Structure formats: structure tokens, C-alpha cells
Structure 1
Amino acid sequence: MTDIATADWWELLPAGIREQVDGYVLQDARMQAIRIVYETGRAHGLGLNDAQLVVHDRYLHHGDRIARTPDCPLDLESLAARAAGAPGRVVAIEAVWDGDTVHDWFVDLLAVTADPAGEHRLATIYRGAAVRHLGDEDPGMLHPSAAAADRAGRALAARLSVPFHFASPDTPDEQAPRWRP
């Protein structure tokens, strides 16, 4: 990271690029906005961290005007409907960790099927969505995404009379053992 403030980086970008970046931000397309800022500012010494901070500042600037990507529903009826639409017979519900540079750690809630064998994403549970879903419930020592996935996954598995599997609810781990029949 350089000593240049994010506002100064923003002003160094050409007006057309700033307009394009704001368009991506207003569409909640964070990665595209970061890519444009990084590629355009790289010639001036702007690094990837700086690009992320510039885009973050644009998110703060636009606030409620951003058309946020809707959260995946975590209510039992919606999850059951999604599971019913999976091809094949649901034999388990599984929660698995994933992560990226935009959302940090999150949990995917999956329906594991047989005939045909496969896994089908029912919901992706990001931190913000998990906090909203949990409301006043304290997740304790769990990451909010893990607490929300555990609660929703157990309820769905009970409704479908199938096992629920979450190999690593306490610690984000993309390599945790997966469910096996």
C-alpha cells in the first residue's frame, strides 16, 4: 500500500473509468469494480489493496443507492422447496466452508443427492446474511455463517428425515471431510 489516500487515487482515475467503476458499484459488482480500478491505476503504482480500498470507499459513498445482491433465503419453507427441486433423491444436507477475497469466509448449504449422485447448492450464507438471519441470537464462538448454516441445515435435515453434516463448524476449513453415505 502506498502513502496516497484513496480519495487521491480516485481523482487520478480518468472520468470515464470513475463512471464505469461507480456503475459497477451501484450494481453491487465489487470484483469488476476492483479489477477496473486495479488495471487502470497500476501504471501509477496503485496496488490491489489500494484498488480494494478505493472501491470500498465508493461503496460507502453510494450507501443505500447500491442495488445489493439479495441474500439467499434461509427459512425452512424456502430451503425445503429448493431441496425438492434438486434432481435425484436428497440423502443428506451438508454445510461446507468456502471463501473469497470479497466475502471472506462463508458457508454453502448443500443438498446431497443419489440417483443421480450429486450436490446442489441451496444457499450461500455470507456473514451479513447470517447476522440478519440470526437476529438477536448470539452465535457464541461460531462464525455467524456457521451458526446460521447449522441452525438452518439441522432444521431442513430434520424436515427431510436425512442426516445433517457440518465437518468443521468451529473453524473455517475448505478441506474438512465431506459427507459420505
Structure 2
Amino acid sequence: MAGMDTSEWWEVLPAGIREQVDGYVLRDARIQAIRIVFEAGRARGLGLNDAQLVVHDRYLQHGDRIARTPDSPLDVVSLAARAAGCPGRITAIEAVWDGDTVHDWFVNLLAITADPAGEHPLATIYRGTAVRHLGEGEDAGPLHPSAAAADRAGRALAVRLSVPFHFASPDTPDDQAPRWRP
């Protein structure tokens, strides 16, 4: 069965599996959908790459019907409102790299607090979120779009809150970069 295209692989899957996969796709649960396709098709020769392509085609098929996770707001008023809800006194705003197999690299914008000490997520900035925030035609320069958007939003929020802004590695994605220390 090797050499089949994605529509042929889709048709080979049992109806129950197809229904389950479409359910995951419509909820924007890509990893779960890929896992189901891969497990159900592996015995017939379907590889992980083929499973990813089958699910990608289902995303294209369903288009606007997919309940996508909404973008985090990056305007300073919304970020300040989120920060105001954090327990404790905000001592800094920090941008931290993270990544996964679905989104590649992205940046988390955090409020760092004292009394009680902690870090509180304010926004997750994926590439698509960043491009929409920066504007389709705007050049992020040498920075990854997520870094450019995080830098812009984080600095604006830090100024508004009169606290330092920390982004240890804006030029290069690095989830091991040094963290904020007061």
C-alpha cells in the first residue's frame, strides 16, 4: 500500500477512525488526530509523515469550520488588564522562548511577581499571532516574528507598569536562556 496519496490513505481508514480524526481536527487538536491516523494505519504501511499529511489535508478540507484557539491579545491595555489580575506585586515582565512540534518556536510573555513569588502567563505568541499583530507587510527585521512581537508588546507593558523588561535571547530561539533574576 506504499505510494498511496493522502486521499487514498484517508479512504483506507475505517469510518469510525475517520470520524474520530475529523472530531479532533475540528477542535484543532492536531497531535491527537495524527496519533489516531498513525496508529490506525501503521499496520497497513502508513508512516508518521503520511499521517501528518493526511491530517493536514483534513485541516484544508474543514477550513473555517475548525474551532481554532484564539490568539492572545498583545495590545498594552489587554496585557495590563491580565497583569492586574496576577497575585502579588509585579516586579518584571519577561519574554521566554518555548517550542513544540505543532507551532515550532513561540514566545511566552510572563509577569514575574513577588509576595508571593511566581510567574504568570500573559500571552503566548505563535508565529501567526505575531504576524497578525505586527501587520502582514511589516518586516520583523532579523528577529523571528514571535520575538519581534514579544519585544514590542513586552516593552510597552513594562513601561506602562514601570517595571523592567527581560528577554534573554531575542535574536535566537533558546528555551534554555537565562531567566530574570531580581
- Structure 1 gaps, min length 5: none
After superposing the two structures, state which structure 1 stretch, 135-144 or 164-173, moved more: 135-144
Counterpart in 1 of 2:21?
Answer: 21
* In 2: Cα distance, 1:10 partner to 1:112 partner: 47
Any residues of structure 2 matched to 1:12-161 within 5 Å, and which?
Answer: 12-135=12-135, 136-161=137-162
Q: 1:95-125 CA deviation, whole Å, 9 max, x = no partner?
A: 0100000001100000011111110110000
Deviation for aligned residue 1:3: 3.1
Counterpart in 2 of 1:178?
Answer: 179
* In 2: Cα distance, 1:93 partner to 1:76 partner: 12
After superposing the two structures, state which structure 1 stretch, 156-165 or 44-53, moved more: 44-53
The amino acid across from 1:130 in the alignment is A
The amino acid across from 2:116 in the alignment is P
Q: 1:64-116 CA deviation, whole Å, 9 max, x = no partner?
A: 12111111111111100111111111100000100000001100000011111
The amino acid across from 2:8 in the alignment is D
* In 1: Cα distance, 2:122 partner to 2:153 partner: 11
Counterpart in 1 of 2:169?
Answer: 168
Q: TM-score, normalised by structure 2?
A: 0.95
Q: Between Structure 1 and Structure 2, how many residues are aligned? A: 180
Deviation for aligned residue 1:132: 0.4
* In 2: Cα distance, 1:102 partner to 1:163 partner: 31
The amino acid across from 2:172 in the alignment is T
The amino acid across from 2:24 in the alignment is Y
* In 1: Cα distance, 2:39 partner to 2:118 partner: 38
Counterpart in 2 of 1:10?
Answer: 10
Q: TM-score, normalised by structure 1?
A: 0.96
* In 1: Cα distance, 2:70 partner to 2:27 partner: 12
SS at match of 1:78: helix
Task: Give me the CA root mean square deviation.
Answer: 1.1
Deviation for aligned residue 1:178: 0.6
The amino acid across from 2:113 in the alignment is T
* In 2: Cα distance, 1:45 partner to 1:101 partner: 23
SS at match of 2:93: strand
